[in-house]
Amino acid sequence: MLTHYHRMMTQISSSLHLSGVYVRCPRVVLRLAGSAGLAAVMAAGGGLALGSDNTAKPGSALEGKAEQATGASAWEAAAERFGGYKADTKPSRDATMQFSLSTEVKDVLVQGGQRVKRGDVLMRARDAEILAAKERQRIIAESTTEVENATKQLELAKFKFQKLKEGGTFSQSEFEELRIQSESAGLQLEQAKINRITQQIALQQIVGQAERFYLEAPFDGVIEEVMVEVGQGVTEQEKILRIVNTDRLWIDAYADTSETIRVGLKAEAPAWVLVHLADAPRLARGRVMYVSPVADSVSQTRRVRVEIENPDGWPAGTLARVRFTDPGSAWQKFETKPRGGAGQVSSTGVGVDGVGGVGGMGMGGQRQ
């Protein structure tokens, strides 16, 4: 009897035949100690009903794992039939930010998942000292007292010199003294103007220094992660925040050099991207952003960056396949559809053959 169940459990561990899909599993090693051990094994089976073909019946405790494996197998089948090049999606904008000086975090104004606009302040460092210096310099730079005083001094010097000339009775030394005073007052006015410009430049310099004490969103996007807390000391080398934009997704595919030459691949050429999502693969039309001018001499491939619109907010990092020739009408049911200016995904599911009825399309998984 033990030999019979040993053989039966070995068959179960080798392969499970679930709804027509075989899922490979690691071998199960069982130690049975008489009828008590055998009873424990049967209890652990969770009501597994076995037929002569080792088929797991509905309601099996293994059904959930099998469904996950079936989903992965469905994507692999769809990807093989679609062909193209393996890749994955990534954000079109991605910045990991940090302060440019060692400081202490004063305010964290955002949190993970928050959508922000370009220019929004995301985080502040302790900045009381630099703000005081900026205010002091602003007062000096905006003051016109020095220029106004120099202007009055010039007017007085010119007035005295003019009166001297109109009187007609003056010595040569008096004439030269007032003439020089008038010219000197004019030079002092020019210097006062230069001083004011210099103070305004100094203000700009301090404003630039103050900008190092806060972080602004460099583009519209979503906060992916905040890595510090208020009061935490950080260095200029420490990463503190990541912001991404996934309104568009980028895909870097490494295409055969021979194919890129054969089809004349270049920027703005069309591309078709099959994206791996939970319910079914989705097909999106994109454009080639650029083709690397340098091919890898070992793999004989070139990096081709493709961009697709992402109106439905698919996450970056999903698996994808990229091809540069039309996959055919059989894939239209998986294509994203426009919806009031934005895309909409078809609700078509995956069929038993793994591609929702596209089984008749055979590209053999080859790169096309």
Summarised one tens digit per residue, pLDDT across range 184-212 is 999 999 999 999 999 999 999 999 999 99
- Please provide residue 121's backbone torsions phi and psi, each rounded to the nearest 5 degrees: -80, 125
Q: What is the pLDDT of residue 350?
A: 35
Indicate the average pLDDT of the chain. 78
Nearest alpha-carbon partner for 284 in 259, 263, 314, 241: 314
Rounded distance, CA 319 to CA 71, Å?
A: 13
- Per the rule left: phi > 0, alpha: psi between -120 and 50, beta: everything else, 70 is alpha
**Would you say 89 and 231 are in contact if contact means Cβ atoms under 8 Å apart?**
no
What are the structure tokens assigned to 285, written together? 């039309």
Nearest alpha-carbon partner for 214 in 96, 105, 94: 105
At residue 341, does pLDDT exceed 60?
Answer: no
What number is the average pLDDT over the span 226-239?
A: 95
At residue 51, does pLDDT exceed 80?
Answer: no
- Please provide residue 156's backbone torsions phi and psi, each rounded to the nearest 5 degrees: -65, -45
Rounded distance, CA 106 to CA 125, Å?
A: 5
* Residue with the larger pLDDT of the pair 321 and 34: 321
- Please provide residue 361's backbone torsions phi and psi, each rounded to the nearest 5 degrees: -90, 110
- Tell me the chain's radius of gyration from C-alpha atoms: 38
Q: What is the pLDDT of residue 169?
A: 81
At residue 47, does pLDDT exceed 90?
Answer: no
**pLDDT cut 70: percent of the chain above it:** 72
At residue 106, does pLDDT exceed 70?
Answer: yes
Q: What is the pLDDT of residue 75?
A: 85
For 44, the enclosing helix (H) or strand (E) is helix 34-44
At residue 22, does pLDDT exceed 60?
Answer: no
For 40, the enclosing helix (H) or strand (E) is helix 34-44
At residue 365, does pLDDT exceed 60?
Answer: no
For 23, the enclosing helix (H) or strand (E) is strand 21-24
